[in-house]
Amino acid sequence: IFAGPKLQRELFDVLLRFKRNPVAVVCDIKEMYLQVEIEESDRPWFRILWRNIDIEREPQVYEFSRVVFGKNSAPMESQFVAQENARRNQAKYPLAAETVLKSTYMDDSMDSVETIERDVELYHQLSDLWGLSGMKARKWMSNAAKVMEAVPEEGHATELRLNDKEETIVKTLGITWNSSEDVFAICTGTEKYSSSND
């Protein structure tokens, strides 16, 4: 299967946009690949034969109806769906469309805006825009408490505690982000190194 072109943004570009403005927001898309449907005529290529360890038994045949993890074109397909959805709906959801097109790396969206009010609006737009493509945004985190008040509790990211301080720590794109202080942190053993906005 041809893997297709690379449609996702460069990680460096996404991180720069994330740190360009004072109010940040992060979310993750739940089971992104599984939200993309496989064309019915292509499903025979994604079959599983199942005998339940009984080699004498005629195998049952199952076909995937959704894009599966491990398929080499899955990243391109999911990015195409996300980006096409953003382009088609950017008139109604301009903030969210820009985030999806410029500040999303695979299934993680992370962006920053100038004010808390704009960040709350971005949260609402992103939730609605992702929903139009059948995808659910979750694991929300912001460095502004008022933004998190707009997010239902079940949608919050799971926080990590690296020390005894009252800090909100989450992992996004493989990077530890201390949203309380709005810094990236690198942990090595018992030491923690931080990178500020400066």
- pTM of the prediction? 0.81
User: Has residue 193 got a pLDDT over 50?
Assistant: no
Residues 163 and 134: their CA atoms lie apart, in Å, by 38
User: Has residue 136 got a pLDDT over 90?
Assistant: yes
Q: Which of 25-29, 139-143, 184-188 has the lowest mean pLDDT?
A: 184-188
Q: Which of 37-41, 120-124, 158-162 has the lowest mean pLDDT?
A: 158-162
**Strand ranges for the chain from DSSP E:** 23-29, 47-50, 60-63, 104-105, 108-113, 137-142, 169-172, 175-178, 183-188, 191-195
User: Has residue 190 got a pLDDT over 60?
Assistant: no
pLDDT of residue 167: 57
What is the average per-residue pLDDT within 16-42? 93
pLDDT of residue 1: 77
Name the average pLDDT for the chain.
87
Of 111, 83, 79, the closest CA to residue 97 belongs to 83
pLDDT of residue 198: 44
User: Has residue 87 got a pLDDT over 90?
Assistant: yes
Share of the chain above pLDDT 90, in %: 64
pLDDT of residue 27: 93
What is the average per-residue pLDDT within 69-89? 93
Of 130, 111, 129, the closest CA to residue 22 belongs to 111
